[in-house]
Amino acid sequence: MTTAERAAALALAAREFAPWLGEITAERLLELVHLELGSAGVLDGFVPRGAHRSRAFPRSPLVHIMSGNTPHAALQSILRGLLLGGRQRVKLPAAGLPELAAFVGAMPTILRESVEIRPDLPDAWMAEAGAVVVFGGDETIASIHRMLRPDQVFVPHGHRVSLGVIFAEVAASLEAAAREASLFDQHGCLSPHGFYVAGDARAYAAGLAAAMAAFQVHTPRRALVAGEAAGIRRVRDDVAFRAALGEDIALWVSDGGSSTVWTVIFDGVDSAFTASCLDRVVYVKPLPASLATALASVSAHLGAVGYWPPTPQAAERLVREGLRASRLCPLGTMQNPPLTWHQDGQPVLAPLVRWIDVE
Amino acid sequence: MSEEREIARRHLEARVTAAIEASLREPLERAAWNEIALAIHAFQLAHNAPYAAFARALGGGPPTDWRSIPAVPQSAFKRADLRTFSAAETQLTFYTSGTTGEGFGRHHFRSPDLYESSLRAAWRFAGLPVGRPHWILIPPASEALHSSLSHMMGALAPLASEQNWLAHRRDDALALDVTGLRDAAALAREPVILLGTALAFLALFEQLGERTMTLPAGSLAFETGGYKGSGREIAKDELYALFTRHFGLAPESVWNEYGMTELSTQAYANGLGGPHRPPPWLRALVIDPESGAEVAGGEVGLVRLFDLANVGSALAVQTQDLAVRRDGGTFELIGRDPRALPRGCSRAADELLQIRP
């Protein structure tokens, strides 16, 4: 298959997976190849490049080692691998990933047969890999890295945390903020753990609580196992106790406390980033004088920062803050990155090919 | 005010002590239990300012049933000094072991008397034998002033024929006296009780390697503390198999103690699969973390404890431990909430533990 044929087939298969992949078209896929590799046809034959001609070849087999958060990363990773061609080998997370098999199943036979999916990671996969893409925590990434030879390309995607910043027009942002904090129950690496808000952040938290409740009505949170719900109870109990002691902290909870489906915490005590225990537990903090200082502890793990109002000026203000986030985007679009985004600040196709130059 | 408060405290502690002693002979009536619990709650509302603020913030009227008494989260012991007496009157403070970022929990005592009475009575209530040698793999209180577990081991002395301390704090580390243990085992002629944290036992087994010891018939082991984020956890049945392998102790000869720095009373479980049975002055509810309501029998929830011996601090404590509700007020622990911060007595010992081959 040519790159264009693969792009067309992938776009067709991706239609049912828009919640995770966004709107995929063949043109956009070819645009991605062009942007990353310099030419949409460079995988199909030699093309002029400076004073010579070059052709890119997929590093094959490409091994994808998936984590268990959401299907986003897995679907995007396999989409990119298949767009380049070559064999794909996918190691599933322990909890499985049915969306991935469904996505592959929606493809034409020739693409489908180029994909192997397993729950384990055979030694042979690592030995034969041209490149390995791994999603997971620092420990997982380090252990996989140790298994590779120097000639094998290693593309790690560690855990990321994301957040939102509301500079102005706060009331207008509530619906978007609630949506961001509720989508995928915060399990995506682009899901916000909390929001920094200019002005009356406590009032904003109250408004966000109402918006979270409204979102819950039409899009209920998934059911939790006891350990997960217990984690939310623990956070709530601690905040409630601190609030009772008179600390500048407050709590809004779903259904008067008889459920855990959403939780909003206003924290005026500590401006440093607080990681949520997820599943729609979100922190609201006053916008500090220096965001970079407040986010110092997670600087190396920042994913997306959503801004409001959705204006270039707001984006510029974030840029001036000097954050190490790889993606700045309007609130409301955090979890729908464009196909061409630099995931974790890196090219997504370029590391997965090797080149032959003819002079 | 202080004098009135002290009289009231002594009166309550005397009531609880009497109830503890009586409950070892005959069941404690529900109405009597409720009455004491509500009296302690009222006392704590009056004299424990952080607790009173918390209870007020939760709203609701005065409870008429012990189940409705507001339970402080365990983290409250880190956030505030929960005591019904002044700092100057504090005779004893236990600290929780190190946690990540939130500091130490503090459990203050006006006097150790009720605490020590409770723990000895809980031992007897569980049916653990009295008058045997205790071989202890926990440093003595003289080396760990603020460890509730070290204090507890010392307070068990009246129930032991002798105490042999086989772990010591050296250069901020815990050293197990394996040679002393082997020598003691070689000489032992009467059944002994070996006491330690699960982590200390695990370290001991690692140090023993393939070596085994024969303990006199009828000997027991007492393990406590869990692993709590140490990264060295093994399944309970595997741990108990190591007791069998190294000491010849069947699982039925191993007891688990469920206690915590924030409490004054412990619950015990025997062997594998046996539920923890609190003594009559300690009651447990298993709470559905989703709804906050008590779960039905056989279901999983968070353990909420009501300890009458906690007169000086907080009667009701919401733990981070998950358990299955079993019959008769018992519960079967299934481990700490995986999102809870690592903590616990066992961890404190492990933080000190140096493996010395």
Give the model confidence (pLDDT) of A259-283 as tens digits: 999 999 999 999 999 999 999 999 9
Residue position matching structure tokens 């023993």: B208
The candidate with the shortest Cα–Cα distance to B200, out of B143, B135, B259, B152, is B135
C-alpha torsion angle, residues B343, B345, B351, B354 (rounded to 10): -150
Percent share of chain A, pLDDT over 90: 90
Q: For residue A310, say if its preceding peptide bond is cis, omega within 30 degrees of 0.
A: no
Helix (H) or strand (E) holding B346: helix B345-352
Task: Specify burial of residue A50 (Cβ count, 10 A radius: 0-12, 13-18, 19+).
Answer: exposed
In A88-183, which ranges are continuous DSSP H helix?
98-105, 109-112, 123-128, 138-146, 170-182
Q: In this structure, are strands A192-197 and A161-166 parallel, antiparallel, or unpaired?
A: parallel
Residue B202 near residue B173, CB atoms below 8 Å: no
Residue B277 has phi, psi (to 5 degrees) of -115, 110
Q: A68 contacts in B (CB within 8 Å)?
A: none
Q: What is the pLDDT of residue B252?
A: 96
C-alpha torsion angle, residues A338, A339, A340, A346 (rounded to 10): 100
Q: How far apart are CA B149 and CA B259, in angstroms?
A: 9
SS3 B291: coil
Task: Specify burial of residue A46 (Cβ count, 10 A radius: 0-12, 13-18, 19+).
Answer: middle
Residue A1 near residue A85, CB atoms below 8 Å: yes
- Structure confidence at residue A88 as a pLDDT band (50, 70, 90): very high
C-alpha torsion angle, residues B91, B96, B97, B99 (rounded to 10): -140
Q: How far apart are CA A90 and CA A132, in angstroms?
A: 10
Q: Does B56 touch chain A (CB under 8 A)?
A: yes
Q: Does A245 touch chain B (CB under 8 A)?
A: yes
**Reported pTM:** 0.90
Q: What angle do CA A266, B55, B283 make, to 5 degrees?
A: 120
Structure tokens at B13: 């502690």
Residue B97 has phi, psi (to 5 degrees) of -75, 170
Q: How far apart are CA B285 and CA B304, in angstroms?
A: 5
Amino acid at the residue A247: E
Residue B320 near residue B302, CB atoms below 8 Å: yes
Concatenated DSSP letters for A319-343? HHHT---SEEEETT-TTS--TT--G
Residue A251 has phi, psi (to 5 degrees) of -135, 135
Residue B83 near residue B311, CB atoms below 8 Å: no
The candidate with the shortest Cα–Cα distance to B342, out of B178, B102, B127, B100, is B100
Name the minimum distance, in Å, from the CA of B279 to any CA of chain A.
26
Q: A234 contacts in B (CB within 8 Å)?
A: 73, 75, 320, 337, 339-340
Residue A209 near residue A261, CB atoms below 8 Å: no
Residue B69 near residue B316, CB atoms below 8 Å: yes
Q: How far apart are CA B269 and CA B258, in angstroms?
A: 8
Q: If you ran DSSP here, which 8-state letter would residue A45 be given?
A: S
The candidate with the shortest Cα–Cα distance to B258, out of B308, B301, B320, B316, is B320
Task: Specify burial of residue B244 (Cβ count, 10 A radius: 0-12, 13-18, 19+).
Answer: middle
Segment A102-128 shows an average pLDDT of 95
CA A100 to chain centre: 16
Percent share of chain A, pLDDT over 70: 100
Q: Does B100 touch chain A (CB under 8 A)?
A: no
Residue B97 near residue B117, CB atoms below 8 Å: no
Residue position matching structure tokens 């002033």: B145
Q: Cβ neighbours of residue A151 under 8 Å, at least 6 residues apart?
A: none
Structure tokens at A321: 């803050």
Q: Does B80 touch chain A (CB under 8 A)?
A: yes
Q: Which of residues 36-55 of B touch A (CB under 8 A)?
A: 50, 53-54
Q: What is the pLDDT of residue B343?
A: 32
Q: B80 contacts in A (CB within 8 Å)?
A: 241, 245
CA A239 to chain centre: 28
pLDDT by residue (tens digit) across A319-353?
999 898 999 999 999 998 999 999 999 999 999 99
Name the minimum distance, in Å, from the CA of B338 to any CA of chain A.
6
Q: Does B320 touch chain A (CB under 8 A)?
A: yes
pLDDT in tens, chain B (357 residues): 688 999 999 999 999 999 999 999 998 888 999 999 999 999 999 999 999 999 999 988 899 999 999 999 999 999 999 999 999 999 999 998 754 446 789 999 999 999 999 999 999 999 999 999 999 999 999 888 889 999 999 999 999 999 999 998 887 777 999 999 999 999 999 999 999 999 999 999 999 999 999 999 999 999 997 665 566 778 889 999 999 999 999 999 999 999 999 999 999 999 998 899 999 999 999 999 999 999 999 999 999 999 999 999 999 999 999 999 999 999 999 865 444 433 333 333 333 332 222
Q: In this structure, are strands A62-65 and A88-91 parallel, antiparallel, or unpaired?
A: parallel
- Closest in B53, B292, B337 to A244, CB measured: B53
Q: Does A243 touch chain B (CB under 8 A)?
A: yes
Structure tokens at A9: 């087939």
Q: How far apart are CA B133 and CA A327, in angstroms?
A: 65
E-strand stretches of chain A: 47-49, 52-58, 62-65, 88-91, 115-118, 131-135, 153-157, 161-166, 192-197, 249-253, 263-267, 281-286, 302-308, 327-330, 353-358
Looking at per-residue confidence, does B352 or A299 come out higher? Answer: A299
